[in-house]
């Protein structure tokens, strides 16, 4: 028996924008900023960077290999893997830059109707002035502690290997994974209930625009699969590898949004319906069969020149069959 035990620790401090971060917290209904407000001069009301540090990212690993008989081996593994440098710290944090109160849009029209009067570098009639009331962020940064934790995946496997002949082995495997607190984008500030009339009458925060994209680390995924493999090592000029895998992939997000794979439309869940969307992932492929082989074609003569033409040829092949992806039919 061989036993491998390990422990990995991952930590990345949340990034900090030196120019300041402003965002709206949809879980509390408050607008927050991490430096002194340059418009109202109020002090910061949230920590620098917004996201609370996650220092619990301990990732144990375990691997076992056990030789039951001279021809039979059992292998198993288990481990945690953290996405400590993923979109929670990079994409989401960068998307929040440019929000109120450290940046705000301004527009000017009717420039230079007769003679040039608006000149660069400042075409505005006066110094820029910011809004004294918060402006909604084009993409907010989710700073709510429970839904901004570091995503992680738990993986496990169990395999039995059997040597049938010195050059032939059969292997059967089970493997799976579970994703926890995965990052995905949700549509925020939508209507609380469906109904006719203006959407503002049914919004939780009608003072802000609807359909705001926000990160939300509260999604999960499940993957389970089994595989059988027959492996023949090279002997008598022939080797081949044949495998079949059956698997199932479930999640809450990629069954709605898979980047258009297979022609499916792209959509995003909301805070109110995210848990209702569990289903097969958009990239779920149940059946995969692969066969590959190499055959050194026999054939030699007593003539060296003829051997150069007909001998030492090799025939190789790879054949793959798999079930298809779901798709939607749409027309215009």
Q: Is the pLDDT of residue 132 over 70?
A: yes
The pLDDT value recorded for residue 263 is 47
If you average pLDDT over every residue of the chain, what do you get? 86
Q: Which residue has the higher pLDDT, 103 or 166?
A: 166
Least confident among 144-148, 162-166, 244-248: 144-148
Q: Is the pLDDT of residue 332 over 70?
A: no
The answer to whether residue 310 is domain-embedded is yes
The answer to whether residue 120 is domain-embedded is no
The answer to whether residue 227 is domain-embedded is yes
Average pLDDT over residues 141-156: 92
Q: What pLDDT digit, counting tens, does each position of 21-78 carry?
A: 999 998 888 999 999 999 999 999 999 999 999 999 999 999 999 999 999 999 999 9
Q: Which residue has the higher pLDDT, 2 or 96?
A: 2
The answer to whether residue 125 is domain-embedded is no
Q: What pLDDT digit, counting tens, does each position of 104-114 carry?
A: 777 788 888 88
Q: Is the pLDDT of residue 11 over 80?
A: yes
The answer to whether residue 185 is domain-embedded is yes
Q: What is the pTM of this model?
A: 0.82
Average pLDDT over residues 202-218: 86
Average pLDDT over residues 279-294: 91
The answer to whether residue 329 is domain-embedded is no
The pLDDT value recorded for residue 116 is 86
Q: Please state the domain count of the chain.
A: 1
The answer to whether residue 192 is domain-embedded is yes
Residue whose C-alpha is closest to residue 64's, from 146, 111, 5, 132: 5
**Long-range contacts (CB closer than 8 Å, 24 or more residues apart) made by 71-75:** 71/162, 71/163, 71/164, 72/160, 72/161, 72/162, 72/163, 73/160, 73/161, 74/158, 74/159, 74/160, 74/161, 75/157, 75/158, 75/159, 75/161
Q: What pLDDT digit, counting tens, does each position of 212-251 carry?
A: 878 888 899 999 999 999 999 988 889 999 999 999 999 8
**Domain span at residue 17?**
2-103+133-322
Q: Is the pLDDT of residue 174 over 60?
A: yes
Q: Is the pLDDT of residue 257 over 70?
A: no
The answer to whether residue 7 is domain-embedded is yes
């Amino acid at each position: 028996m061989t036993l491998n035990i390990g422990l990995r620790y991952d930590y990345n401090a949340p990034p900090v924008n030196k120019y300041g971060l402003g965002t709206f917290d949809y879980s509390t209904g408050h607008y927050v900023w991490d430096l002194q407000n340059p418009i109202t001069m109020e002090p910061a009301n949230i920590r620098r960077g917004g996201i609370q540090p996650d220092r619990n990212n301990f990732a144990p690993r375990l691997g076992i290999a056990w030789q039951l008989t001279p021809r039979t081996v059992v292998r198993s593994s288990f481990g945690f893997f953290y996405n400590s440098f993923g979109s929670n710290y990079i994409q989401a944090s960068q998307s929040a830059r440019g929000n109120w109160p450290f940046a705000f849009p301004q527009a000017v029209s009717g420039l230079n109707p007769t003679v040039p009067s608006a000149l660069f570098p400042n075409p505005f009639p006066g110094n820029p002035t910011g809004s004294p009331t918060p402006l909604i962020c084009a993409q907010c940064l989710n700073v709510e502690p429970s839904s901004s934790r570091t995503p992680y995946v738990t993986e496990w496997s169990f395999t039995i290997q059997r040597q049938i002949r010195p050059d032939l082995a059969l292997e059967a495997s089970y493997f799976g994974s579970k994703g926890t607190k995965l990052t995905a984008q949700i549509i925020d500030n939508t209507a609380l209930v469906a109904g006719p009339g203006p959407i503002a009458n049914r919004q939780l925060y009608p003072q802000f625009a609807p359909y705001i994209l926000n990160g939300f680390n509260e999604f999960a995924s499940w993957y389970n699969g089994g595989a059988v493999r027959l492996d023949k090592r090279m002997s008598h000029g022939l080797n081949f590898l044949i495998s079949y895998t059956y698997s199932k992939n479930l999640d809450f997000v990629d069954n709605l949004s898979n980047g258009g794979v297979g022609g499916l439309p792209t959509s995003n869940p909301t805070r109110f319906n995210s848990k209702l969307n569990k289903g097969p992932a958009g990239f779920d492929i149940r059946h995969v069969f692969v066969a590959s082989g190499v055959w050194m074609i026999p054939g030699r003569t007593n003539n060296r020149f003829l051997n150069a033409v007909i001998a030492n040829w090799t025939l190789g092949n790879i054949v793959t069959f798999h079930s298809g992806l779901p798709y939607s039919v749409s027309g215009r």
